[in-house]
């Protein structure tokens, strides 16, 4: 396929490289001056999108996605697919899908899970929203860039799945960190805490696979000075998106709201910027009840 790829940062760059390595003709564009192996660079997003079979976007937020879509949809070939892999608000995803459909295009919102390592290794998980036809067109590319793609439903469903999943992740990480900090103050050994909880009703992904306590459980960012695998500011972004969606849908999400407020405080006022989202544990260690 001829693929336009707009947004070649830490995630988009390796994804585009994997598509090129698989033999696709990839034409890329990024606001920064980047060079990606196997990818021909265009002078603009419009040039990258013109006459492509599929255009993939990996962008910072919904506002930028809407602006890019406004520019590129008019130059895309009839029947081409616009596949947005950014994590953005559900309303923006649906608005772009409607705009694409009105122009005779297919559209898929397909945010990813797996981080930079998954992008480089081609092991991402895609959560996709859009028509069956649109998903079928994008599916062979998902197979190259990732190890799993789930068709979650119509437009916006991919974004909905991503933010609901990450709301659970953020809330659970906070609870896991709180529990370790409490265990410390009660004199409970961390390894004993892990051995009990990881095999009892309190087990979770944040405990069993991504433990925030250094030296306990499998290797995780906690064992590397909390260098980010998933940065706290990205968790804050996703929690804010969850609350924006909850507001729009009139959903009561008090735990999600509390998690968003805690990560906002951590990132913006307590030095959490640039640390892994599991660095909530040392944050709780330093604090008392007040």
What gap in Å lies between CA 270 and CA 248, rounded to an integer?
30
Q: What is the dihedral of CA 262, 264, 171, 253, to 10 degrees?
A: 100
162 assigned to active site: yes
Out of 162, 185, 237, 286, pick the active-site residue.
Answer: 162
DSSP state of 276: B
Q: Are 108 and 94 in contact (CB under 8 A)?
A: no
3-state SS, residue 170: helix
In this structure, the strands spanning 25-29 and 106-109 are unpaired
Q: Are 146 and 118 in contact (CB under 8 A)?
A: yes
Q: Are 55 and 80 in contact (CB under 8 A)?
A: yes
Catalytic residue positions, numbered: 162
């Amino acid at each position: 396929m001829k693929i336009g790829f707009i947004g070649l940062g830490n995630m988009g760059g390796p994804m585009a490289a994997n598509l090129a390595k698989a033999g696709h003709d990839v034409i890329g564009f990024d606001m920064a001056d980047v060079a990606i192996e196997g990818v021909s660079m265009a002078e603009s997003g419009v040039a990258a999108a013109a006459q492509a079979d599929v255009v993939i976007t990996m962008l910072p937020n919904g506002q930028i996605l809407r602006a890019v879509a406004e520019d590129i949809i008019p130059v895309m070939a009839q029947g081409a697919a616009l596949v947005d892999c950014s994590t953005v608000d559900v309303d923006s995803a649906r608005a772009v899908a409607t705009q694409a459909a009105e122009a005779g295009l297919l559209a898929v919102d397909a945010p990813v899970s797996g981080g930079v390592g998954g992008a480089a290794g081609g092991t991402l998980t895609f959560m996709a929203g859009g028509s069956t036809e649109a998903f079928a067109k994008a599916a062979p590319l998902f197979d190259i860039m990732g190890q799993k793609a789930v068709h979650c439903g119509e437009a916006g469903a991919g974004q909905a799945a991503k933010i609901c999943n990450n709301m659970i992740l953020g809330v659970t990480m906070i609870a896991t960190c709180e529990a370790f900090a409490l265990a410390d103050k009660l004199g409970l050994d961390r390894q004993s805490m892990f051995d009990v909880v990881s095999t009892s009703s309190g087990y979770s992904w944040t405990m069993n696979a991504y433990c925030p306590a250094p030296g306990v459980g499998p290797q995780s960012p906690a064992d590397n000075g909390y260098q980010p695998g998933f940065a706290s500011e990205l968790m804050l972004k996703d929690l804010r998106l969850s609350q924006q969606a909850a507001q729009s849908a009139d959903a009561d999400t008090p735990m999600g709201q509390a998690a968003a407020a805690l990560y906002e405080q951590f990132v913006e006022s307590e030095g959490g910027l640039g640390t892994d989202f599991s660095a909530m544990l040392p944050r709780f260690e330093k604090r008392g009840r007040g």
